[in-house]
Amino acid sequence: DVKVTQSSRYLVKRTGEKVFLECVQDMDHENMFWYRQDPGLGLRLIYFSYDVKMKEKGDIPEGYSVSREKKERFSLILESASTNQTSMYLCASRSGGGETDTQYFGPGTRLTVL
């Protein structure tokens, strides 16, 4: 079974803090994604990566950055957290073998910024 893990299930941070969210997958997938999920808005893509050291902006990259130094690990960074970044953050991975392969999600991190 594909396993995608995220470093924290719940996180509380203060405005202005630097926040790291880490995601690890164990299936040697090429593609990894970071989404945020807010009520009534669905999943919105923040950043994705097709390979190590490669990153692409999604639909809402402002206020975020990412790092992919190793194939299995994809980190999301909030340089200076703000209250409007309070959300559920979901990481996903997908094999690059077929464009229609399904995405496998981690359990999510519910971030609250005070």
Partner 1 sequence: GQNIDQPTEMTATEGAIVQINCTYQTSGFNGLFWYQQHAGEAPTFLSYNVLDGLEEKGRFSSFLSRSKGYSYLLLKELQMKDSASYLCALLDSNYQLIWGAGTKLIIKP
Q: Which residues bind partner 1 (CB under 8 A)?
A: 4, 35, 40-45, 48, 90, 99-100, 102-108
Phi, psi of 52 (to 5 degrees): -60, 135
Nearer to partner 1, 41 or 52 (CB): 41
Instruction: Compute the least distance from the CB of residue 68 to partner 1, in Å.
Output: 17
By DSSP bridging, strand 10-13 and strand 109-113 are parallel
Question: Can you tell me the distance from the alpha carbon of 77 to that of 66, in angstroms, rounded to the nearest whole number?
Answer: 6
Nearer to partner 1, 11 or 43 (CB): 43
Phi, psi of 31 (to 5 degrees): -100, 135
Token duo for residue 94: 């997908």
Instruction: Compute the least distance from the CB of residue 51 to partner 1, in Å.
Output: 15
Nearer to partner 1, 42 or 69 (CB): 42
